[in-house]
Each structure stands twice: as C-alpha cells, then as structure tokens.
Amino acid sequence: MKRIIPILLLILGLSWIDEIQAQRQDTFIYIQFSGNIVTEGDDGKVVPLPYTNVAIKGTTRGTVAAIDGFFSMVARKGDVIVFSNVGYKTVEYEIPDSLDNDLYFWIQIMSRDNILLPEAVIRPFPSKEHFKIELLAMDITEEMELQYIEYLDEQLLANIRETLPADGREATNIYLRQSIENYRYEGQIKPQNIFNPLAWKQFIDAWKRGDFKNKKNK
C-alpha cells in the first residue's frame, strides 16, 4: 500500500502538468501581430511603405499600415496575413502555429508590380484646323450620344460621389487630417468662425448668390 500511494501521486502530478501546459498553449492562440512594411526606394535604399492593407485571409478583420509603415493587430497562430497595396505585388504570410509567446513582430518587404497596359497609338494633327475638321467628321451614333449624356448627368455624378466608399488610403488621410486638427488646438479653446471676418464674408456672398434658397422654389 505504501508503494501504491507514491505511484498514484506521480500519475496525478504528471496529468496536472499536462493540463497546465495545454491551458498555457490555449492562452497563446491569440497574439499581438505587429511589424513594419518596407520597400525599395528610388535611390535603392529601404523605405517604409505607408497605407498598406493588412488583412487576415478569409475574414473581414485587418488594419492599414501607418505613414511610417508600422502596423499592429490581433491575430491567431496559423492565420494567413495578406499584404496588398496598389502598384505592389500582393504577399501572403502565414503566422507560425508553433509560437510560445503572445507577441510576434514581422518585417514585410513589398516589391513593385509592373502593370502592362494595352498599346496606345497617338497620332498628332498638323494644326488645330485639321483637328477641328477631323472632329466634326467623326461619325457619332445616336446611341453614343445618349450614353455620353447619361454618363455626364449631374445628378448621377452627385449620387456616385455620395455613395462611393473611401478606400484605405483615403480613410487614413481623413483620420490623419482630423488628428492634426485636434492636436493643433490641444490645451486651448478652438477658435469659432463666428469671430472670423473671412467666414462672415463667405456667408454674405453665398446669401447674395442665393445658395440657401430652396431648390424646389427656384
């Protein structure tokens, strides 16, 4: 009986250690994935690549690199990270699933992507008069004319401007401009346009032009 008790304690101790190790591995499923995105500059030196999209493949989660190329987000071990930027080759990188830490830093190098456009032949005219003659001689069908008018409709263009979503670079620029505007008046009261004579002039000019009239009453 005295021999059996130590053996049972040893077995319980080993199972307890295995359980702790399993819990420790589960703790590090989610990690803080950070890094820098760089590319080759015009002078051949390594430079940061800002506004690069960093996304987890197969999900809607991701982030955008800052102006210095730095990014940071929460990911899981084994996730495939997709780095993409206009004018550069898209790169996929898989986070190792054998990490024993919850912090992981990665430097991603992006290479430029050559986009081949179809050949365009430019034929100059000898003078403006020849251009005018050729332009008036163009055979524009009624269908092309209607399509042209439809594409230049002011209401259609206004709807496109209102509904077109901002891309990653545009959203980052808006965020940076707003941050700069907030930091400019940090610790002081932001000036109001009610005391700005230029703002009053713009308001009066707009009032005279009738910009505030209801369009339905025009």
- 17, pLDDT greater than 70: no
Give residue 168's pLDDT.
73
> Of 1-5, 98-102, 156-160, which gets the smallest average pLDDT?
1-5
φ, ψ for residue 203 (rounded to 5)?
A: -65, -45
Q: Does the residue 20 lie in any domain? A: no
Q: Is 102 left (phi over 0), alpha (psi -120 to 50) or beta?
A: alpha
Q: Does the residue 156 lie in any domain? A: no
Q: Does the residue 12 lie in any domain? A: no
pTM: 0.45
CATH number of the structural domain spanning residue 69: 2.60.40.1120
Alpha-helix runs per DSSP H in 60-214: 128-136, 142-151, 154-163, 168-184, 197-209
Averaging pLDDT over each range in 8-12, 52-56, 126-130, 206-210, which range is the top one?
52-56
Q: Does the residue 70 lie in any domain? A: yes
Q: Does the residue 42 lie in any domain? A: yes
pLDDT digits (tens, 9 = 90+) for 32-54: 999 999 999 888 899 999 999 99
pLDDT-based confidence at residue 153 (cuts at 50, 70, 90): confident
Q: Does the residue 41 lie in any domain? A: yes
Higher pLDDT, 150 or 115: 150
Domain count of the chain? 1
Q: Does the residue 52 lie in any domain? A: yes
Domain that holds residue 38: 31-110
Q: Does the residue 90 lie in any domain? A: yes
pLDDT digits (tens, 9 = 90+) for 154-210: 888 888 777 777 677 777 887 788 777 777 666 666 667 676 777 788 888 888 888
